[in-house]
Amino acid sequence: MRKVNVNDVEWQERQSPKGKFGRKTKNISIALGRDPQSLDPAKRWPFDLALVNIPKGKSLCPYHSHSSESELYLVVSGSGKVRDRDGWTEVGAGDAFIFGPGEAHQLSNAGDEDFVYYVIADNPRGDSCFYPDSGKFAVWKENGEEVIVKATGADYFDGEE
């Protein structure tokens, strides 16, 4: 058995340059030994668990959809709002919701206290993200490095011959 206490897992912070987006995350699965870069299912595991804290006035990240990832959320405390194709929905402690591949979403703090939730994601290799508001894509190289691109149309063989 692998075991950690969530209180002992370090928070990792990320904030956008102008401060609109911000969060703290406890990567519980990684603390338990998950290796996100491994191709071995015994080391990578079929899911990932994290505890996320979005401070007052912040959004987690821009509105986006995943090409192949599913994410299940369970709100622990605070109040939030979740954007999907139909607009914004208020959520609070005890609410659970899920987004599958191709379902655009965004989470934001809607209250005066931290918005805290657990997220379980299957994190499939080869996943990419699309950002409908800006037309950007996020893709990951084999080493785990994230690359953000804003594409224009091109012929399939452009630059190949």
- Answering whether pTM is above 0.85, one says yes
Residue 72: strand, helix, or coil: strand
pLDDT of residue 63: 96
Tell me if 160 is assigned to some domain: no
Residue spans of beta strands (DSSP E) within the chain: 12-15, 22-27, 48-54, 65-66, 71-77, 79-84, 87-92, 96-99, 106-109, 115-121, 129-131, 136-140, 146-150
Task: Write down the pLDDT at residue 125.
Answer: 78
pLDDT confidence of residue 94: 98
Q: How far apart are CA 148 and CA 140, in angstroms?
A: 9
In-domain check, residue 159:
no
**Percentage of residues in the chain with pLDDT exceeding 90?**
73
- Report whether 28 contacts 49 (CB < 8 A): yes
Is residue 51 a part of any domain in this protein?
yes
Residue 92 has pLDDT above 80, yes or no: yes
Q: Coil, helix or strand for 60? A: coil
Q: How far apart are the C-alpha atoms of 78 and 113, rounded to whole Å?
A: 6
As separate numbers, helices (DSSP H) first and strands (DSSP E) second, the chain gives 2, 13
- Report the CATH number that the domain containing residue 97 is assigned in CATH: 2.60.120.10
Residue 87 lies in a domain: yes
**pLDDT score for 147:** 86
Establish if 72 belongs to a structural domain.
yes
Q: How many domains does the chain have?
A: 1
Whether 139 is in a domain gets the answer no
Give the DSSP H/E element, type plus range, for residue 136: strand 136-140
Q: How confident is the model at residue 28 (pLDDT cuts 50, 70, 90)?
A: very high
Residues 6+ apart with CB under 8 A from 76: 51, 93, 116, 117, 118
| DSSP reduced 3-state for 42 | helix
> Is 75 a member of any domain?
yes
Residue 76: domain span:
6-125
154 domain-assigned: no
Residues 29-87: pLDDT tens digits? 999 999 887 888 888 888 999 999 999 999 999 999 999 999 999 999 999 999 999 99
pLDDT band at 155, cuts 50/70/90?
confident
